[in-house]
A and B are shown apart, each in its own frame.
Chain A
Amino acid sequence: MARPDLSPDHRTINGLVAALFIAALPHFIYQPFWVGLAFTMMISWRLLHNLRGWPLPASSIWLRVLHNGAAALMIVIIFSHFGLTIGRDAGAALLTIMLAFKVVEIRSLRDYYLTCYLGYFLVITNFFYTQSLFIVVLMMLVIVLLNSCLISVNTSTSAQSLKKRLGLSGKMVLKALPVMLFLFMLFPRIPGPIWGLPEDAGGNGAATMSEQLTLGEIPPDQNRGTSGINDEIQMGKISQLIQSDAIAFRVQFEDDNVPPNKQLYWRGPVLWQSDGTVWSPLQTSQLNEQALQVDYQSQAVDYTITLEPHNKRWLFALDFPTGKPQGLASYFAPDGGLNSAEKMRNRRQYQLSSSTEYQLNASGDRNLWAALQLPAGEHPRTRALAESWLEESTGQSDYIDRALAFFNQQDFVYSLSPPQLRGDIVDSFLFETREGFCEHYAASFTILMRAAGIPARIVTGYQGGDLNPVDNVLTVRQRDAHAWTEVWLPEQGWIRVDPTAAVSSQRLENGINDLLPASRRSPGMIANNDMLVELWQDMKNNWDAFNTAWDIWVVGFDSQIQKELLSRLGMSNPDWRKMIAVLTALLALTGIIMLFLSFYRRQPTEPVVAYYQRFCYKLARLGIHKAAHEGPQDFARRAEQQLPAYQRQIQSITELYARLRYRRDNSALLNELADQIKAFRPRR
């Protein structure tokens, strides 16, 4: 309590600087370059003081002005860069920089403690950016280092070397794991946020699908270079999405009952209107309200989806869900899209059940008007083609077949990197380039349908997914993004027609994976060796399964999963009172066990004794047991009588043992004893 507030010595400060540097390292990537620069400069100043004796700000007024001025300047830069609201990015930048400035002016033990504590806080800010296993391991290292820093100011370096301090710190972390686990599982989780979240809270920098579909020239990227389903699904955009291996969601099917790949259409936003280039959805207010009439025609499959945050409301479901998901407030839009009540800012789980064969709104739909609208004056050649088919065809089904046959029989190519489209996008695709990705086929097919008076709309979402044989989790990645068409036919309702299938049946049979170049599936070096590729796949599957478990049970652990886990462990209707009660009991129990274990005493065994015990054990296996009262010589005599063949060995070992144990002879004999006992293999 009343300890002198002396400045910690240079070595303990160097240790702290090392720990802080590792903690700040990931921020150099997330933050603008000047954050890392300022941090490095400031800690270098401190290190130069410690190692080379450079002056600190405290030593002269000019250096003080420089230090404080630079700090003020950095604050101004932070505010001008991030704006006045302190969000995640601005907060982390501020913490990183101010921590480095603080390091320069550590003068007392109190400063040292404060800096350490800020270091702990810097660790947690890393988790706001990524929660991967790697970063956790790195941050554990930081925790061990920071703890050993605190140890170093509470002990003397002569009594405890750096190695011992690090060892103690590591041991403390290990001892802390059980209680941490109890707290993690049983501390009642409060669903956040407590106060409003700044805009950058949910964005984990991953790709998401967008709300619009743009054909042709891709407009300048509005989404800071993140791929995925965004505010706008653009035609060009989906083929960008395919570049991303980021996970969109994971599916665990009940009883491992996974439908075939070609039925795995994960329904997302429905697109209705187009200006010729961009396709976009209709707001719920623009659509006529109606209850969905679904007639399910196949056995429903149950599954759980773990959706990665995408900062949008839509939820993905296997076409077509039999009801709203459990565990999440949501509603169906009139076009069949499933939407959450709030934006998906965190990884969420929901249970659904779907029937892959169904009729949707067969008896009529109040929004068919919107499914017939064509952009005025656009796509003249396409319309002309539609008219010529219409004259030849005998009915709507025939017309649809004609269109699909057109894609199938003409020289259309499914390409992951289609050429840029110019002028009238659909016309130039259908009559000139004929190379496209799913969104090109879906959009032009929809135009063809609408031109013939058949109500049609584009559905976006994902198709397929990778089933991991290790844990049977289907992982749907951004690269599985897909767009297809739904047409409405009387008596049959909305029917899914996937024009991409007419061009590339492979895409649907086997998923996108087979279409990707081999280099995307395994490292280039081993791509030519099938066995290595298989081994690689095997390892990758295991690693993926582990990551899935990590993401769902650790990273995704929230009040909902907590309740689920606790009821699985046998707690009925877990609520916070029960959790607190069990937690308290467990903590008390752990405390008592820890206390008693700390009194545990290892029996100090000298190596000589340990070797001799080994010798006795070898004899005991033959039924010759050493009695507690029996001395080594008596025991040897008895053993020799029973095992005359080994008389010399037994004598020699006993003599060596006696010399080492009772006469404290040359310890070089110890090795000889060890060798002899090792070579002693008595048999009857």
Chain B
Amino acid sequence: MTEAITALWQRWRQSQKQRIYIIPSRAGYGYVALLLLMLLGAINYNNSLGHLLCFLLASIGHVTMHQSHTNLRLLTLKVTALDPVFKGQPARFRLTVNNHDEHDKYQIEIAGKKPGNWSRWQFFKAYEKTGLLEHVEADNTRSINLSRDTHQRGWQSIGKLRLASLYPLGLFYTWTVYQQNARVLVYPEPAGKRPLPEPPGSDRQRTQREHSGDDDFSGLRNYREGEPLHRVAWKALARDEVMRSKQFSSPEGHQLILRWQDLADLNDTEARLSQLCRWVLEAESAGHRYGLELPDSWLPPSQGDAHQHQCLKKLALYHG
């Protein structure tokens, strides 16, 4: 007996960790008006069963309040950030809701906080709906993907998530807010029409490079994390089970350095970063070895997805 009470107490303490807010919805206020009208009628006609009905409905309202509250309690959230995106593309997160309660949860609306400064009382305006969980079974988890619009480069955090529900009768609006730290890197938006900068060296060299390109196989070296898979020497791998990547000869002069200073005539930082971003993408897809030079840092020429990511990350996090 005492054990059972202790267990109840523990679970109650557990549920107190997350604050749950509850207010009557518009339909809830309508319900109250209905009850008052009914009570008036019952009193006027001295109708005992009228009273009884009115009290039953009031009591059902009370039960609904408990159930609304129950519908959001004992939930824990886990958010994982998915791949980086370019500015303007939606940032995607994976939300996993874990229900530690013995009650199933239904119809939970998930909303993310909109950017900007919102006062404490603007519960509703400050959030916009990003997802809906129709059902989370007792002692079970459910996952959904959430996406948030990106408006600036850099780290985009999922920020505050509001879980809200009108379940079961729509008379009460219940919500609870979770602060989450998962963040997605947002690269600058690729933009700008400038052609890739000339590699250092003569026009002839450049033409030659274009002809021979990267197709001149020069040898193998051990595969490093981040190198594109299409460069893996699969035949060699099959032979001795050592992962190697094919190296192509590129004359020194075929290296590009993407420089911040080259865009001095663009005085807008974001426009410069957008152009650099575009160059990085073009250089990578063209198979060049490229380096990045920013006022506060630089990356030596290289190529591959990992290098591209390093470059884009530098651009995303650049503080001018």
Q: How far is the CB of B272 from chain A (nearest CB, A)?
A: 40
Per-position binary interface string of chain B over residues 44-82, scored 1 when its CB falls under 8 Å from any chain A CB and 0 otherwise: 111111111111111110111011001000000000000
With an 8 A cutoff between CB atoms, is A446 at the interface? no
Binds A, one of B146-154, B167-175, B185-193: B167-175
Residue A192 lies at the interface, judged by CB distance under 8 Å to chain B: yes
B210 in contact (CB, < 8 A): no
A192 CA to B45 CA in the complex, in Å? Answer: 6
Q: How far is the CA of A391 from the CA of B171 in the complex (A)?
A: 87
Chain B residues, CB < 8 A from A93: none
Residue in contact with A127 in the complex, picked from B47, B60, B173, CB distance below 8 Å: B47
Residue ID in chain A nearest B167 by CB atoms: A154
Given A117-B31, A184-B55, A193:B46 Cβ within 8 A: yes
* In contact, A173 and B56 (Cβ under 8 angstroms): yes
Instruction: Tell me the count of chain B residues lying within 8 A, CB to CB, of chain A.
Output: 56
Chain B residue at minimum C-beta to C-beta distance from A91 = B41
Rounded to whole angstroms, the CA-CA distance of A600 and B34 in the bound complex is 33
B232 lies within 8 A of chain A by Cβ: no
- With contacts A159-B134, A194-B43, A599-B12 taken as known, whether A124 is within 8 angstroms of B54 at the C-beta atoms is yes
Interface membership of A172, Cβ < 8 A: yes
The CA of A436 and the CA of B134, in the complex, are separated in Å by: 76
Q: Which of B8, B54, B67 contacts A600 (CB 8 A)?
A: B8
Once bound together, how far apart are the Cα atoms of A197 and B11, in whole Å? 54
Q: Residues of A contacting B54 with CB < 8 Å?
A: 124
Q: Does B299 contact A (CB under 8 A)?
A: no
Q: Which of B100-108, B211-219, B290-298, B306-314 contacts A (4 or more CB under 8 A)?
A: B100-108
Given known pairs A120-B57, A180-B55, the reply for A128 and B45 (CB within 8 Å) is yes
Beyond A151-B168, A193-B46, whether A123 also contacts B134 by CB under 8 A is: no
Q: Contact flags (1/0) for A54-69 with B, using CB distance below 8 Å? A: 0000000000000000
Which residues does chain B contribute within 8 Å of A88, judged by CB atoms?
A: 45
Contact: B47 with A190, CB < 8 Å?
A: no
Q: Tell whether A264 is near chain B: CB-to-CB under 8 Å.
A: no
A52 at the interface (CB under 8 A from B): no
Flag if A1 contacts B124 (CB, 8 Å).
yes
Instruction: Bits for A80-116, please: 1 = Cβ < 8 Å to B, else 0.
Output: 0000000010000000000000000000000001100
- Judge whether A598 and B46 touch: CB under 8 Å: no
Within the complex, which residue of B8, B103, B170 is in contact with A596, where a contact is CB–CB below 8 Å? B8
B135 an interface residue at 8 Å Cβ cutoff?
Answer: yes
Minimal beta-carbon separation of A346 from chain B (angstroms)? 5
Q: How far is the CB of B245 from chain A (nearest CB, A)?
A: 47
Residue among B4, B45, B124, B170 having the largest count of chain A Cβ atoms under 10 Å = B45
Instruction: State whether A173 and B7 are in contact (beta carbons under 8 Å apart), knowing that A147-B169, A159-B106 are contacts in the complex.
Output: no
Looking at A205-213, A549-557, A608-616, the stretch in contact with chain B turns out to be A549-557
Taken residue by residue from 323 to 361, chain A's Cβ proximity to chain B (1 for < 8 Å, 0 otherwise) reads as 000000000000000000000011000000000000000
- B42 in the interface (beta carbon within 8 A): yes
Contacts of A28 in B (CB 8 A): none
Minimum CB–CB distance for B143 against chain A, Å:
16
B46: min CB distance to chain A, Å: 4
- Residues of B within 8 Å of A345, CB to CB, are 46
Within 8 A of B (CB), among A303-328: none
Q: Which residues of B contact A (CB under 8 A)?
A: 4, 7-8, 11-12, 15, 25-27, 30-31, 34, 37-38, 40-60, 62-64, 66-67, 70, 102-103, 106-107, 109, 124, 134-135, 166-171, 173
Given contacts A128-B47, A150-B168, A175-B63, 18 further A-B pairs with CB under 8 A are: A1-B25, A1-B124, A117-B30, A121-B34, A128-B50, A151-B168, A154-B169, A158-B134, A158-B135, A172-B63, A179-B62, A179-B63, A183-B55, A193-B45, A197-B45, A587-B62, A599-B12, A601-B7
User: 16 interchain pairs (CB within 8 A)?
Assistant: A3-B109, A120-B57, A127-B47, A128-B47, A131-B48, A151-B169, A155-B106, A156-B107, A160-B135, A173-B56, A179-B62, A192-B44, A192-B46, A554-B49, A596-B8, A600-B8
* Interface pairs A-B: 4 shortest CB-CB: A159-B135, A176-B59, A183-B55, A179-B59
